[in-house]
Copies of this chain bind each other. A is one copy, B any other.
């Protein structure tokens, strides 16, 4: 039986984009099935009955949910062009920073951008300082090449800039975060990444339409 890879996703989601970039990175052919998040499909509800969220990867009919879990699955299933470091300690460090982005940065960014709460803005700036320090003088979070943390951090490297412009909040600036900015430039210039990020103007229009009333 030919291998069947499907992705239930949404073009404007940073979490969906993580999975698409990982699949492209590995050179895996897949069918993308755009989901209507206002009117969830029976397939999405069947595949992710607990969280009812995209992205869901369907590999030969078996669903895998949650973007970080999907990235682990992709790296374990298709071994070429690894996303995770090989060394267990470096893998642990990568998982730590991926969780830091999802568990710390994401809630703070939501508070800063969607409620425009001063404490949320301060908190986001502090967290970005921590990320900037972690990046240090490395080209990518993964060192010389893109790895797990870079793919997860597209939330900051691409989405945050668009969302702050859409909602009129400023947390990430070139002056305050020169190293993060340098990383963003490297990251979005990387060919696999560049080709698979949603177009900026389209994403900005989506963000203006959807994130201003949250």
Which residues on A are within 8 Å of B, measured CB to CB? 50, 59, 62, 64-66, 68-70, 72-73, 76-77, 88-89, 91-92, 95-96, 99-100, 130
Q: Is the CB of B59 within 8 A of A96?
A: no
Nearest 6 pairs of A and B residues by beta carbon: A76-B88, A73-B92, A64-B92, A69-B95, A77-B88, A69-B92
Q: Is the CB of B130 within 8 A of A96?
A: no
Q: Is the CB of A50 within 8 A of B100?
A: yes
Residues of chain B lying within 8 A (CB to CB) of residue A76: 88, 91
Cα-based distance from A40 to B123 in the complex (angstroms): 23
Residues of chain B lying within 8 A (CB to CB) of residue A96: 50, 64-66, 69
Main SS of chain A's interface residues? helix
Q: Is the CB of B89 within 8 A of A59?
A: yes
Residues of chain B lying within 8 A (CB to CB) of residue A91: 72-73, 76
Copies in the assembly, this chain: 2
Q: Is the CB of B69 within 8 A of A89?
A: no
Q: Is the CB of A73 within 8 A of B50?
A: no
Cα-based distance from A88 to B91 in the complex (angstroms): 17
Cα-based distance from A50 to B133 in the complex (angstroms): 11
Residues of chain B lying within 8 A (CB to CB) of residue A66: 95-96, 99
Selected A-B contacts with CB under 8 Å, 12 pairs: A50-B96, A50-B100, A50-B130, A62-B89, A66-B95, A66-B96, A69-B92, A69-B99, A70-B92, A72-B95, A76-B88, A77-B88
Cα-based distance from A95 to B64 in the complex (angstroms): 10
Cα-based distance from A69 to B169 in the complex (angstroms): 33
Cα-based distance from A58 to B69 in the complex (angstroms): 25
**New A-B pairs, 5, CB < 8 Å, besides A73-B88, A73-B92, A76-B91:** A50-B96, A66-B96, A70-B92, A72-B91, A77-B88
Cα-based distance from A62 to B69 in the complex (angstroms): 25
Residues of chain B lying within 8 A (CB to CB) of residue A69: 92, 95-96, 99
Q: Is the CB of A89 within 8 A of B65?
A: no
